[in-house]
Amino acid sequence: MEKSYVYILNCFLLLTFYSCQENKKINYESLTVEEKVLKTKELEYERKFHYQASLFRQAYTDSLIALNPKNAGYYQGKSIAHSKIGDYHISFPLLKKAMELDPKETLYYTSWLMTDLYKDYDRAIKYLNQYDEYTPGKVDYAWGNNINFLKGEVLQALGRHEEAIIEFAKAIDEEGIDYIDPSAFPYRGISYAALKKYDIAIADFDLVIKVYDKSSLSYYYKGITLLEVGKKRKLLLVLKKQKNWYPKDIKNPTLIKKCIMRYT
Amino acid sequence: MITFGFVDGTFKNIHYQTVEIQGDVKPVTFQLCNAYININNPSDRYYYKGTTYNGGLYHIRKIFDRQYKAPKNSEEFGIFQVRFVVNCEGKAGIFDHQAFDYDYNLKEFSTEITDQIFEIAKGLQNWIPGRHSKTDQIIDTYKYLSFRIKDGKIIRIYP
């Protein structure tokens, strides 16, 4: 029992010692430029051992920001964890600060982030255009994605289908038929269908089905388009194919069920 | 059973009387499969674990489309976020919420909007639980749904 008391006492003393350190303010301003560089390297090295969401990593990043208040990368790095867990009120001011300091580098990330995670399409199109304008005439990538492809997605979500078609076509042209993300075709098809250009839309869906016969997105929207133009016999063939993987790979089970009930 | 602990200002032995449970006792409310999930630890709610709703986001949108009634003449706008835990049985619980304006500052919506969304979200109880990336074991996971609101109407639902 005595051993337990000694153990508890030791823990208590250690905790007291470290809690006293918590309020100790580290003054980085008194460091020379060389010392700051060394300290930054040291903190960056130690930070690597902690994963992105860890509170330790956040603390290391806070110190790095204090040491290098004009480094946009640290603000952006700190924001990532908060964006991922939905704490936008914490992440967005950090992203704004990073964009103020280095818009060109930060927009590579934020323009994609607004499109993909925040789904803030008004802001996304503004950021994508701004980022694209830095290097006119060159193919740009936001977080590894073709910028015209992303613009197409955003414009489609905003209901600006004519512009979306142009952007998807640009992306297909830039990447080439072998390297483009195949979903560019059904996405463009969706915009064509929205503009009631059904034949071109179906051609886009078929193009993907030809190379990947399990593209549920293409089957689903082809089905919708056929339903729209009243080609019920063809629709049944599409449904029959899609039924093979139901329910795992299906886009919209309720609608497909309804169609099957209605037309079989 | 005897254990040692701090009671009434002093460390001493504590004696417990164990009583056998009578009959088949089943939990009636939401329970976590792992009692140690920690809302204050970002790592618990961080990495993508594959938690999805049966029928996908499409099904969630349909449910909200059917059940949510936008308040008349409302000019409210912003993002309402419902946060919860999906346990290993695919049931949702420990609901929480926060809201932002379009510039991502925290804000409050009227109860007419929040109560409706919150109650409908609580009714979503058909989740496919997430899995541990290494062991492939089904686990409790955090999840959040965001609702973009304009003039009191839900214009976008996304995870």
Domain A31-101: what homologous superfamily?
Tetratricopeptide repeat domain (1.25.40.10)
- Best A83, A85, A156 residue to mutate vs chain B (most B CBs within 10 Å): A85
Identity at B107, one-letter amino acid code: K
Coil, helix or strand for B133?
Answer: coil
CA distance A133 to A62: 32
Interface residues from chain B to A (CB-CB < 8 Å):
4, 41-43, 45-47, 55-56, 58-59, 62, 79, 81, 83, 98, 100, 102-106, 142, 144, 146, 148, 156, 158
Task: Tell me, yes or no, if A55 comes closer than 8 A to chain B by beta carbon.
Answer: yes
The pLDDT score that the predictor gives to residue A246 is 46
Domain extents in chain B: 30-158
In angstroms and rounded to an integer, the radius of gyration of the C-alpha atoms of chain A is 27
The reported pLDDT for the residue numbered A14 is 59
Name the average pLDDT for chain B.
87
pTM above 0.90, yes or no: no
Angle, nearest 10°, between helix axes A147-157 and A103-116? 40
Question: Of A52, A88, A251, which has the smallest distance from its Cβ to B100's Cβ?
Answer: A88
Is the confidence at residue B30, as pLDDT, over 80? yes
- Alpha carbon A227 to its chain centroid, in Å, reads 33
CB within 8 Å: A119 and B62: no
pLDDT confidence tier of residue B7, bands split at 50, 70 and 90: confident
Closest to B88 measured CA to CA, from B134, B136, B40: B136
Cα B70-B75-B76 angle, rounded to 5 deg: 75
The DSSP call for residue B43 is G
**pLDDT (0 to 100) of residue B79:** 97
pLDDT tens figures, B69-113: 999 999 999 999 999 999 989 999 989 999 999 999 999 999 999
In A, which residues are within 8 Å of B56 by CB distance? 251-252
pLDDT at A85: 87
Which long-range contacts link B40-44 to residues 24+ away (Cβ below 8 Å)?
Answer: B41/A55, B42/A53, B42/A54, B42/A55, B42/A81, B42/A85, B43/A51, B43/A53, B43/A54, B44/B142
Looking at the complex, report in whole angstroms how far the Cα of residue B24 sits from the nearest Cα belonging to chain A: 36
- Predicted pLDDT of residue B49: 81
Cis peptide upstream of residue B42 (ω within 30 degrees of 0): no
Name which of A90, A88, A173 is nearest A123 in CA terms.
A88
Identify the pLDDT of residue B86.
92
pLDDT tens digits for range A226-238: 888 876 666 666 6
| Contact (Cβ atoms closer than 8 angstroms) between residue A165 and residue A188 | yes
Residue B136 pLDDT class (50, 70, 90 cuts): confident
Separation between Cα atoms, residue B141 and residue B127, nearest integer Å: 11
Which residues of chain A are under the pLDDT cut of 70? 1-26, 231-264
